[in-house]
Structures are given as C-alpha cells and as structure tokens.
C-alpha cells in the first residue's frame, strides 16, 4: 500500500468515526475548511490541554491570554502583514488552475530528490552491508547529477524569492519544464503577489466602515498585550505569554487535508528576554519543544529539526520541527528568534512606549522575543496519521480477522474507557451503568450494549479507546470485571475498586507532564 493510499484511508476513517468532517458537507463542502466531530473535538481538547499545561503549569514565568480575533487594522500594518504577507501565485491559462510558484518548484525538486533516493535504495540493495551511502552520493555519476540539479534549482528559487523577482521565478518554472498537473501544458501567466489575509468590514458602510482583518496568526494579540500583562501580572523578564486560538489564511494551495487549512488553530507562546540572550533561549526552547513532542512516544525518528537558511526580515534564527507525515517530513512547529522587531514596530506605529525596566540593572530596553508556534490541526494530523494501524489477527478457530486500531497516546485518546455488559440481560446492563456512573467524573467513558462484544471492541479500537471494561455474570458474584487493553488486546480480571487506579495510571496527563518535569 502506498503512503498516498494510507493517507486516503486515514481521511476516510476520520470521517467514518467522527473525528473530522468536511465543512458544510451537505453543500458539498468548503475548500480547506473542516469541522471536528464528536471524537475529534475530544482529541483536540486533550492536545490543547497537554500544550497549555506544559506551558502554564510547568513554568512559573509563563501566563496565558485569550485575545480577540479582530484587531485594530494598524496592528497588521505594523507587523508587516499588510505589505509582506504574500505568496507568489501563477495560473495555468488552459486549466485555469492557480498554484503557488514556490510550491510548484518545491514539488519539482522533490521529484528529483525522490529519484536520488531510489538510486540510493537500489545501490544499498546491490552492495548490502558494504554500502557506504556518503561515498555513493559523492562519486556516483547519476547521484551527483541529481544532487547538482536539485541544488541549482533551489538556489535560483531562493534567490528570486529573496529579491521578489517574479520574472525570474516564472523563468525558472519554464526552464524546469514544469507542466500543470491538470492540463499538462506549460502555458503559464505572469507570477503575481497575493496577500493571504482575509479582510472584512466592521461597522455600517454609512459610518465609513473600518476594514478589518481576520488575524493570520495569534502572535500579534500577545505583542499588543505585552504591557498589559507585564504590568498587571508584575512579570519579570524573562517571561512568556501563551495563547491558543483561531487564525485565518487565504491559502492558495490548500491541500493535504488538515495540513493546510484556511481556518485553523495555533498554539503560540512568546517568550520575552533581555537583548543579547535570545540565542541561548532559542536553543533552550528548541530543546524543550522537541521534548514535549517526544514525550508522546510516537517514535523519536519521526521528528527532525529543519534550520531556516533564509530568514524572515524580523528573525535572527529560526527552525522548524518537522514530522514524518504520510506525505513526507513537513513542518509541524516553528521556533523563531523574532528579535525586538514586533514590539519596536508597535511602539513606532502606536506612539506608546513599549519597554521593560530592569530594576536589578537599572536599565530599560525593548525585550527580544523567542516564539514557539505550533498548528493545533497539524499536531492533530501527526497524532492520527501515526495512530492509524491496520492489523491482521488470527481468531481462535485459526481463521483471519482484521482490525483498525488508532494507537493514540492514551492521555490524548478521545474516550478513555468503554463499559460493556457482555449480554443485554440478567442485570448486566444495570451493573455496567453503575460502574460507568462511578467513573464518569474522572474519565471520559462510553457505555455500549449494542451488537456482539467483538464488534463493540472494534468500534472502540477505531477511536483509540485505551480500555474496554466488560461486565459479565461473574461481576455480579464477586465484583470483578475484565479489562481489555487496546494495543495488546490482552485481558485481565480485576476488582471494580481497582479500576480508577489502573486507568489513571495510563491515561492521565500527569504522567506525561511529569516526564517534562
């Protein structure tokens, strides 16, 4: 099965089991906008809580806010978004399809790199244990050609982007002989800039309505509240402000399910530090954020850093944490050293003094900022795409059976346990409801009595429920139940009184947070 097939199956599974639905589906959906269903919203809330608690509970010097989506339009002038939050777009005249010029080129480069990987794979097979990848890459003629080709295109692209030279960008697309995937032709328009912010109007037109934007990032809500929080919270630098909230971008190429959406959610933390110390803090936050991801135990090899070579005008260092999505390693989170750019800009545009007075050193300065910014939806996608597992099982009679199990980290699982009466009679449902009612205050529980026990187990596997508690006749005699573990399918018999401890041991956020200490 190709990774594309797997990805399609994951999307279908998300819909079938109430994780994610296309927005306004009865009207055929809305491009790159999605709704979270009954299982999805629980998983999403658990991810938020894991992030929020890791920031707020584990750091004395980080506090949270929840700022409005609408902000004064000058905020976006000061931040640079009105003038520079653009993507270069190009249209194919035959298919009328629109593309991001840089994405077309990136995809072209990726194809060359895929060819290179294939060569490496073939050689590794041929030479077996004696294979030296580095030597192969440095000496094999074909490998050298692919590497040179990819590097040359990337250099030309970065150069054109850096200089905003759209003619050069278009020429590169033509030189690479890139064709539209839909029409197959190379009949391209000029490259134009396209601003990604959604705009709307506030107030009635008669009053002279104000053009406002839907925020394209949550960060600016933090910067404009820096003084409020610092003063009212009596915060001493270094300190951080965390926020979770919606952001909106009119993405030109919105594909890959919830990877690139037009309405999405960000979890951002801006950490204010004295000038000159920012690069130490940048390294520290890179490490902390990587640890946060790895604590989920999806596999350390699924993550890697990608350091930005071309920096945004406001940054003096930037890295992404990339995750191995089904369509390759892609950005999951950004860690940026944003200098004092944002606060200085807001000081300039608002005319208000935005500085920090350090009483110990008796000096005042504009703080520097380290930002950690992660897309909640991308985080969600990393969890579910990693969790989706198809298994072939052997039944007791020797025949084969299949199950799809979502191996979601138990602390994030939408439902923590299901209580299932073995049969729908003899007082078992009543007993099961009683047990569920005892546990529901602490855990998200489900009660299910419909269909065979096997089918009920499968339904819980499909949403990633870590535990199934089965109530049978023996329960009525000695107050014991069987506990079935999702991943191993092993069952053990325990006293009902032991349930809270057994379940909490695996599903509580506490144990995850303790790892981060």
375 binds ligand ATP (CB under 6 A): yes
Site for ligand ATP in 103-162 (CB under 6 A): none
Residue 341: which residues within 8 A CB-CB, separation 6 or more? 313, 314, 315, 369
Residue 392: which residues within 8 A CB-CB, separation 6 or more? 400, 401, 402
Please answer whether residues 308 and 318 qualify as being in contact, where contact means their C-beta atoms are separated by less than 8 angstroms. yes
**Omega before 384 within 30 of 0, i.e. cis:** no
Residue with tokens 């089991």: 17
Applying CB under 6 A, among 302, 338, 378, 436 the residue interacting with ligand ATP is: 378
102 binds ligand ATP (CB under 6 A): no
Q: Determine the residue with CB nearest ligand ATP.
A: 375
217 vs 472, which CB is nearer to ligand ATP? 217
**Short-list 443, 414, 408, CA closest to 37:** 414
What's the CA gap between 164 and 167, in Å, rounded? 9
Q: Which stretch binds ligand ATP (CB under 6 A): 42-50, 371-379, 391-399, 408-416?
A: 371-379
Please answer whether residues 514 and 508 qualify as being in contact, where contact means their C-beta atoms are separated by less than 8 angstroms. no
Applying CB under 6 A, among 331, 344, 407, 516 the residue interacting with ligand ATP is: 331
216 vs 421, which CB is nearer to ligand ATP? 216
326 binds ligand ATP (CB under 6 A): no
102 vs 472, which CB is nearer to ligand ATP? 102
Distance from the Cα of residue 264 to its chain's centroid: 10
Site for ligand ATP in 289-318 (CB under 6 A): none
286 binds ligand ATP (CB under 6 A): no
Please answer whether residues 170 and 90 qualify as being in contact, where contact means their C-beta atoms are separated by less than 8 angstroms. yes
333 vs 472, which CB is nearer to ligand ATP? 333
* Angle at the Cα of 75 from the Cα atoms of 71 and 81, rounded to 5 degrees: 110
Quote the least distance from Cβ 332 to ligand ATP, whole Å: 6
324 binds ligand ATP (CB under 6 A): no
Coil, strand or helix: which one is 259?
helix
Q: Which stretch binds ligand ATP (CB under 6 A): 138-146, 325-333, 407-415, 462-470?
A: 325-333
333 binds ligand ATP (CB under 6 A): yes
The count of chain residues that interact with ligand ATP, using the rule CB under 6 A, is: 16
The two structure tokens encoding residue 54: 């890791």
User: Checking DSSP bridges between strand 417-421 and strand 445-447, what pairing results, if any?
Assistant: parallel
Quote the least distance from Cβ 23 to ligand ATP, whole Å: 14
383 binds ligand ATP (CB under 6 A): no
Please answer whether residues 173 and 104 qualify as being in contact, where contact means their C-beta atoms are separated by less than 8 angstroms. yes
264 vs 368, which CB is nearer to ligand ATP? 264
Q: Which stretch binds ligand ATP (CB under 6 A): 278-286, 328-336, 422-430, 453-461?
A: 328-336
Coil, strand or helix: which one is 24?
coil
**Short-list 111, 248, 87, CA closest to 177:** 111
337 binds ligand ATP (CB under 6 A): no
Applying CB under 6 A, among 102, 377, 449, 461 the residue interacting with ligand ATP is: 377
Coil, strand or helix: which one is 253?
coil
44 binds ligand ATP (CB under 6 A): no
**Omega before 24 within 30 of 0, i.e. cis:** no
Site for ligand ATP in 225-284 (CB under 6 A): 249, 251, 260-261, 264, 266
Please answer whether residues 411 and 40 qualify as being in contact, where contact means their C-beta atoms are separated by less than 8 angstroms. no
Residues forming contacts to ligand ATP in the complex (CB under 6 A) are 217, 249, 251, 260-261, 264, 266, 331-334, 373-375, 377-378
């Amino acid at each position: 099965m190709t990774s594309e097939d797997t990805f399609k199956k994951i999307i279908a599974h998300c819909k079938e089991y109430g994780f994610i639905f296309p927005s306004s589906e009865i009207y055929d959906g809305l491009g790159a906008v999605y709704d979270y269903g009954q299982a999805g919203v629980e998983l999403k809330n658990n991810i938020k809580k894991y992030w929020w608690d890791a920031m707020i509970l584990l750091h004395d010097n980080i506090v949270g806010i929840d700022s409005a989506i609408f902000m004064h339009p000058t905020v976006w002038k000061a931040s640079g978004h009105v003038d520079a939050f653009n993507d270069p777009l190009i249209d194919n005249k035959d298919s009328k399809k629109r593309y991001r010029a840089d994405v077309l080129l990136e995809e072209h480069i990726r194809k060359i790199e895929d060819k290179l990987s294939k060569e490496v794979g073939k050689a590794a097979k041929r030479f077996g244990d004696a294979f030296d990848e580095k030597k192969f890459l440095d000496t094999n003629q074909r490998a050298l050609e692919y590497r040179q080709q990819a590097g040359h295109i990337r250099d030309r692209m970065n150069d054109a982007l850096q200089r905003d030279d759209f003619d050069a960008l278009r020429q590169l697309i033509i030189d690479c002989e890139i064709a539209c995937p839909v029409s197959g032709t190379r009949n391209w328009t000029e490259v134009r800039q396209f601003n990604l912010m959604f705009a709307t109007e506030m107030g009635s037109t008669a009053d002279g309505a104000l053009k406002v934007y839907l925020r394209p990032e949550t960060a600016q809500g933090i910067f404009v509240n820096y003084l409020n929080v610092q003063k009212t919270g009596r915060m001493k630098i270094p300190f951080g402000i965390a926020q979770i909230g919606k952001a909106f971008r009119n993405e030109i190429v919105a594909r890959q399910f919830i990877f690139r959406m037009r309405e999405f959610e960000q979890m951002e933390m801006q950490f204010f530090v004295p000038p000159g110390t920012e690069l130490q803090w940048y390294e520290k936050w890179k490490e902390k954020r990587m640890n946060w991801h790895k604590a989920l135990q999806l596999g350390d090899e699924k993550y890697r850093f990608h350091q930005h070579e071309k920096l945004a005008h406001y940054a003096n260092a930037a890295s992404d944490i990339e995750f191995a999505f089904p369509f390759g390693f892609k950005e999951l989170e950004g860690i940026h050293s944003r200098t004092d750019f944002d606060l200085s800009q807001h000081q300039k545009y608002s005319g208000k003094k935005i500085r920090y007075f350090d009483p110990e050193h008796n000096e005042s300065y504009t703080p520097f900022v380290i930002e950690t910014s992660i897309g909640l939806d991308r985080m969600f996608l990393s969890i579910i795409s990693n969790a989706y597992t198809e298994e072939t099982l052997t039944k007791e009679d020797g025949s084969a059976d299949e199950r799809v199990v979502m191996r979601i980290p138990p602390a994030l699982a939408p439902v923590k346990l299901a209580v299932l009466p073995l049969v729908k009679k003899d007082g078992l449902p009543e007993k099961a409801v009683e047990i569920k009612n005892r546990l529901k205050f602490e855990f998200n529980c489900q009660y299910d009595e419909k269909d065979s026990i096997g089918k009920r187990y499968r339904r819980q596997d499909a949403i990633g429920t870590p535990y199934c508690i089965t109530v049978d006749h023996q329960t009525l005699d000695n107050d014991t139940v069987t506990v079935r573990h999702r991943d191993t399918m092993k069952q053990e018999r325990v006293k009902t009184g032991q349930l809270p401890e057994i379940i909490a041991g695996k599903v509580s956020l506490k144990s995850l947070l303790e790892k981060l200490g």
